[in-house]
Amino acid sequence: MNPVVAMAGASVASVLVAGALVDPDTRLAVLLGMLGPLLATTSSWVLIERTYRESRQKLTNVMIVAFAFKLVFFGFYVGLMIRVVALRPLPFIASFTGYFVGLYLMEALYLRRLFR
């Protein structure tokens, strides 16, 4: 299965289940807590996979630049969601953290498979 489809599918399915169990304000916080990590992992996966296939020698540099970009992106994203969108912090941070860990675990497992 395509890693992007797997990550997106798992995220959407789990956010639908979680959303059915909570109130509308929490549902939005959970959804937006999932969205940032999903965008980051799927974007970086596409970039990693393409670079790996085209020029394996450049992969480490691409991953370092992607890491730096994600540091800035996540800082901006979390600040935007908490300060501007004014989401309830606890459900947003819990969702963000859970999806961050889960999606990066999935990406690591797909990286391991790619490098074999």
| Domain limits, the chain | 3-115
pLDDT (tens digit, 9 = 90+) per residue, 70-88?
A: 999 999 999 999 999 999 9
Q: Is 87 helix (H, G, I), strand (E, B) or coil?
A: coil
- pLDDT tens-digit profile of 88-115? 999 999 999 999 999 999 999 999 999 9
Report the pLDDT value the prediction gives residue 78, as an integer from 0 to 100: 97
Residues 19-41 have pLDDT tens digits of 999 999 899 999 999 999 999 99
Token code pair at residue 18? 């979680």
Query: H/E/C letters for each residue in 10-23?
Result: HHHHHHHHHHHHCC
Q: Is 14 left (phi over 0), alpha (psi -120 to 50) or beta?
A: alpha
- pLDDT computed for residue 25 by the predictor: 87
Given this model, what pLDDT does residue 33 score? 97
Mean per-residue pLDDT, 45-54:
96
Q: What is the pLDDT of residue 76?
A: 98
Q: What is the pTM (predicted TM-score) of this model?
A: 0.93
3-state secondary structure of 101: helix
Q: Is pLDDT above 90 for 48?
A: yes
pLDDT of residue 1: 86
Q: Which residue type does 115 have?
A: F
